[in-house]
């Protein structure tokens, strides 16, 4: 997997922040959607399991729901890389006017499509305030 995982994580979250925090163009959502593997699933901070369709429907309907949102990705750790699968863990911090929320995220990424990172599964856990 000759892909820069840190860059891939940062790019996805930049698109997510742009979509949720502004009147973004449709191609921002399309890039985000294309990065989700067809078998994508996630466990939210509340413990709910979402499939790709539910995630994308929720994100699609949340355009500019958090005006000015910034998402910072830090502490990216590559836990495993084998063949076309990688496991990463990172801290994701959401900032809006007057609000800061962080979560610890573990994700399984794949490069089934050569040179493109796709998100297979994500598990989010709320992080203690810093």
Instruction: Return the pLDDT at 129.
Output: 60
Strand order in the sheet with 85-96: 49-51, 36-43, 118-126, 99-110, 85-96, 70-82
Cα(91)–Cα(75) distance, integer angstroms: 6
Instruction: Return the pLDDT at 1.
Output: 43
Q: Please list, in sequence order, all residues whose beta carbon lies within 8 angstroms of the beta carbon of residue 35, skipping any fewer than 6 positions away.
A: 12, 15, 116, 117, 118, 119
Instruction: Return the pLDDT at 2.
Output: 63
* Cα 112 to the center of its chain, rounded Å: 18
Cα(27)–Cα(101) distance, integer angstroms: 27
Q: pTM for this one?
A: 0.92
Task: Please name each of the domains of the chain with its CATH number.
Answer: 5-126 (3.10.450.50)
Low-confidence residues in the chain, pLDDT < 50: 1
């Amino acid at each position: 997997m000759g892909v820069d995982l840190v860059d891939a994580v940062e790019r996805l979250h930049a698109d997510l922040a742009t979509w949720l925090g502004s009147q973004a163009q449709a191609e921002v959502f399309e890039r985000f959607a294309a990065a989700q593997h067809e078998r994508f699933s996630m466990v939210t901070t509340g413990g709910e399991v979402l499939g790709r369709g539910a995630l994308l429907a929720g994100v699609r309907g949340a355009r500019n729901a958090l005006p000015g949102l910034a998402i910072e990705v830090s502490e990216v750790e590559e836990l495993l890389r084998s063949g076309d699968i990688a496991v990463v863990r990172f801290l994701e911090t959401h900032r809006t006017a007057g609000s800061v929320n962080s979560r610890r995220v573990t994700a399984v990424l794949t490069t089934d499509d050569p040179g493109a990172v796709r998100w297979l599964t994500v598990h989010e856990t709320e992080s203690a305030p810093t």
